[in-house]
Chains A and B, each alone.
Chain A
Amino acid sequence: MADTQIRASADALLRAPTSPRGPRDPAAIIRWTLLAMGAIVMVMPIVYMLSASLKYPYEMYNLNIIPKEPTAENYTYVLSDGRFYRWFLNSFIIATCTTVSAVFFDALVGYALCKFRFRGRYIVFIAILSTLMIPTEMLVIPWYLMSRTLGWLDTYWGIMFPGMMTAFGTFLMKQFFETVPDDFLEAARIDGLNEFQIWWSVALPMVTPALSALAIFIFLGNWTAFIWPLIVTNSQSLYTLPVGLTTFSVEQTVDWELIMTGAALATIPTLIVFLIFQRYIIRGIAMAGLKG
């Protein structure tokens, strides 16, 4: 008897409409269709990348998603190439150093712009923001000339310096520091902390979601950076992963299966970072939007 009742309830639940206005609500259908289309557009390149990494070269230009003869040979080849590990390490070092530096300085500058009153504060903020409107491609030439003059070409520092502080990060952190009441800082001031200690011990811990989100943005951005590392480096030993993968493409042939394999492997750290910290990314974007 009880079993029948449970089954009836389950059937009723299964029959329950999926949206408040019923399953055939035209607005819901349009919404879900658009969402599905968007998801397909976003996911397809990744699916194709994974598919291509499992294909033999002869099958490369067939658009089938499931390889006729799946193979792990590409992974074996790429992972047995010592250069891959070097590039992976380079990318990791550069992305990590840049992230630490950018988070530190963006938070420091954002705090100063938010919490200190000084002449020209607004102009400095606008000047920093205005750099967001200049595309990277336009900055590459001055960066290159600067690197050449200062002897930074083909060095880690040369790859990293443009990203050591970011306008976006400064803006994001400034917006977040607006949410920290001044009373906290004044209480710390009365308790005898200097301004740097107040920033470090009181203000920063109160904006950890923003710091996490910013760290992820910057890490991902530097992990996938291509144009500037390509221009500033000559030695293969200094290549980052995206730049190194291009060596699989030579004058006459392009080893797409190896490029796709390298790209698939390169995605793993970013996926891990994203899966762990995704709630911070979403909260960071949402809060920055609200405050902006």
Chain B
Amino acid sequence: MATVSLRNLVKAYGKTEVLHAISLDVADGEFVVFVGPSGCGKSTTLRMIAGLEEVSAGEIWIGDRAVNHLEPKDRNIAMVFQNYAIYPHMTVRKNIGFGLRTSKLSKPDRNRRIDEVAAILSMTDYLERKPAQLSGGQRQRVAIGRAMVRDPAVFLFDEPLSNLDAQLRTQMRLEIKKLHQRVGTTVIFVTHDQVEAMTMADRIVIMKDGSIQQVGTPAEVFHQPANIFVAQFIGAPSMNMLPARYAGGQISVAGQSIKATLPLPDGSDLTVGIRPDDLLVSAEPALFAGIVSVLEPLGSETLAHIDIGGRDLIATADGRSPPAVGARVHLAADTANLHFFAPTGEAVR
């Protein structure tokens, strides 16, 4: 196990800088998830930590060593790739043991280690099979096994669940989390799926355009998003955003006034954010009113798209007795759950 520290990490291809001075400290044994849209630089950061991409500027520390100039094999890391990268011509045993080829372990010790890892991953019965004879989930387990067998200081996962179907993804998510709890190794996990990030991470690093937008626990990034991007990226469906104006201790939004004290000058424009979970369809007069345009039943609840004078808001309605499309409804929200963003996009509290 080891800490990982990124210090002003920069990646440039020619004159194009794709990562802008990333700094982050990952604690020993922590499960950190990098999340962001395609092209945000999360995989590039991971590949730089692995030593598969050169660092243009800045430093990477694993434990007490700066590893910028070390070969991938000398960094004491293991990586699981999106397409598993398990060798099709080798059996599961050989695939898992591949990382031990360069170790000084004797053959019996090597086999014992492979058997241990296979047992942890419930793959003992499949050790003599070839990858083509395995399901997607089993292949992913082999890939994880190959990473585990070397007992690395840091596990790097590059979107390892993207190729799995929804059900298997949920199952593997749980298995990886259990595995982390069991082995306690530092994990850096890259995904574009915010649900994966929320469910697995000790801390989430949200990236956009080569910069870190926010680092925090799942609860922090959900309840206290640092900016509009984070607020809209985390949470499904996305946070509702309404233009508003702040004056005299009142926020005017969609024809309503809300009392609030914000560190903004009088007359400032701002954006009010309300999560669909916090905006409830109500029969009683409430904060907003509008017409139901679309319903998305989810079983226990129904997502209702409400048109409030030309703006579409997503609200939550009861799953058993949702409103009818075209009905006029009221939308209630606890003002304590509202989020405010300055014109720069930064959160205002």
Chain A interface residues (CB < 8 Å from chain B): 181, 183-184, 186-193, 202, 205-206, 208
Contacts and interface: CB of A to CB of B under 8 A. Distances in A.
Contacts of B71: 189
Given A183-B81, A183-B82, A190 B50 contact: yes
Contacts of B101: 191-193
B230 interface: no
Interface in B98-127: 98-99, 101-102
Which 8 pairs, one residue from A and one from B, show the smallest C-beta to C-beta distance? A192-B73, A192-B102, A183-B85, A187-B85, A205-B89, A183-B81, A191-B99, A190-B72
B88 A186 contact: no
Contacts of A183: 81-83, 85
B79 A190 contact: yes
B87 interface: yes
B78 interface: yes
Interface of B: 50-52, 71-73, 77-79, 81-83, 85, 87-89, 98-99, 101-102, 146, 150
Nearest to A191: B99
Contacts of B85: 181, 183-184, 186-187
A193 B82 CA distance: 21
A181 B83 contact: yes
Given A189-B71, A205-B89, 9 more contacts: A181-B85, A186-B85, A187-B79, A187-B85, A190-B72, A191-B99, A192-B73, A192-B101, A206-B88
A190 B78 contact: yes
Interface SS majority for chain A? helix
16 contacts: A183-B82, A184-B85, A186-B50, A186-B81, A186-B85, A187-B79, A188-B98, A189-B52, A189-B72, A190-B72, A190-B99, A191-B99, A193-B73, A205-B87, A206-B88, A206-B89
A189 B52 CA distance: 9
A202 B98 CA distance: 10
B104 to A, nearest CB: 12
Contacts of B78: 190
Contacts of B52: 186, 189-190
Contacts of A188: 98
B73 A187 contact: no
A190 B98 contact: no
Contacts of A186: 50, 52, 72, 79, 81, 85
Contacts of B79: 186-187, 190
B83 A193 contact: no
Nearest to A188: B98
A184 B86 CA distance: 7
B258 to A, nearest CB: 51
A184 B98 CA distance: 12
Contacts of A181: 83, 85
A245 to B, nearest CB: 41
